[in-house]
């Protein structure tokens, strides 16, 4: 698994570097005399799932192509506090210029991967077939990266964008005659390659959607008891997704209802950044500047 470096991701990296070091690094320029060569390590300060090595390496490359970034643990690894997850070596000024941007990317993406892994482990312990999936509740410009982090943590990706699937929600239905009418229109007009999913708020709406030919139903903000009844009534005719207010305390109960998918918006919109630090471990100071 590798972090995708698309043109949009390149723009994001360039923007991050521009806002932090675009006008230069006053501290390094004043304190460090070239050429100071240095080696630093990025250290985990808590238990976490590592995510974002390729992005961090690319960001450092953007600062200075001569910088060497070496991952010390594999992407998706769980590490303990004190673990060195990467090593960076090169010009001291360049290394420090990229420090904050690199840590920001790694801390945010590793935070998403870490939270996702918690959900995945809880669901796995239930012994059910349920899978944890993300949503489109992502930071603008970060969607590809945040969904990558979910996958890195063991989750699965829902739609990447509005063109990736048919998801008929209550606002669509409000502009149609009924749930069944909305599904029938989608079945007639949507590309055959796209799966049709309908958000339902009751078992009656679910049945209407199934009869109209949907492929998936999304049970919106239902109690586990109602979800279990819906799963029983659907009897395997469609895939069933659960969504709405699901957290670490409730996800196991939701999984035990028999649903196929559990979408969790907080994976991307509320995952806390993990704690990482960069520490210089070696520095080659020119003799004439150290006296």
Q: List, by residue number, the catalytic residues.
A: 100, 137, 169, 199, 220
Strand order in the sheet with 196-200: 131-133, 261-263, 239-243, 216-220, 196-200, 166-168
| C-alpha closest to that of 150 among 247, 268, 2, 255 | 268
Output the six-digit token pair for 170.
């209550």
Long-range contacts of 249-253 (CB under 8 A, 24+ apart): 250/224, 251/119, 251/122, 251/123, 251/132, 252/122, 252/123, 252/125, 252/126, 253/224
Report how far residue 97's alpha carbon sits from residue 28's, in angstroms, rounded to the nearest whole number: 8
């Amino acid at each position: 698994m590798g972090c995708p470096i698309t043109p949009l991701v390149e723009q994001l990296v360039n923007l991050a570097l521009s806002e932090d070091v675009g006008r230069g690094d006053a501290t390094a320029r004043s304190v460090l005399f070239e050429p100071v060569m240095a080696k630093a390590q990025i250290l985990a300060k808590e238990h976490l799932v590592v995510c974002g090595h390729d992005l961090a390496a690319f960001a450092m490359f953007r600062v200075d192509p001569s910088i060497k970034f070496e991952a010390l643990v594999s992407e998706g690894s769980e590490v303990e506090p004190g673990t060195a997850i990467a090593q960076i070596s090169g010009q001291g000024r360049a290394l420090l210029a990229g420090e904050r941007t690199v840590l920001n990317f790694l801390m945010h993406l590793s935070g998403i991967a870490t939270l996702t892994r918690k959900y995945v482990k809880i669901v796995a312990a239930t012994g059910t077939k349920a899978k944890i999936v993300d949503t489109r509740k992502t930071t603008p410009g970060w969607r590809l990266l945040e969904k990558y982090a979910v996958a890195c943590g063991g989750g699965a990706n829902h739609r990447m964008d509005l063109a990736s699937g048919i998801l008929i929600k209550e606002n669509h239905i409000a502009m149609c005659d009924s749930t069944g009418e909305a599904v029938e229109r989608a079945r007639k007009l949507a590309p055959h390659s796209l799966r049709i999913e309908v958000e339902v708020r009751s078992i009656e709406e679910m049945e209407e959607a199934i009869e109209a030919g949907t492929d998936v139903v999304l049970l919106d903000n239902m109690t586990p008891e109602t979800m279990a009844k819906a799963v029983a009534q659907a009897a395997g005719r469609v895939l069933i997704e659960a969504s709405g207010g699901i957290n670490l305390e409730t996800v196991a109960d939701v999984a035990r209802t028999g649903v196929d998918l559990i979408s969790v918006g907080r994976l991307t919109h509320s995952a806390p950044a993990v704690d990482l630090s960069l520490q210089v471990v070696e520095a080659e100071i020119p003799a004439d500047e150290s006296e």
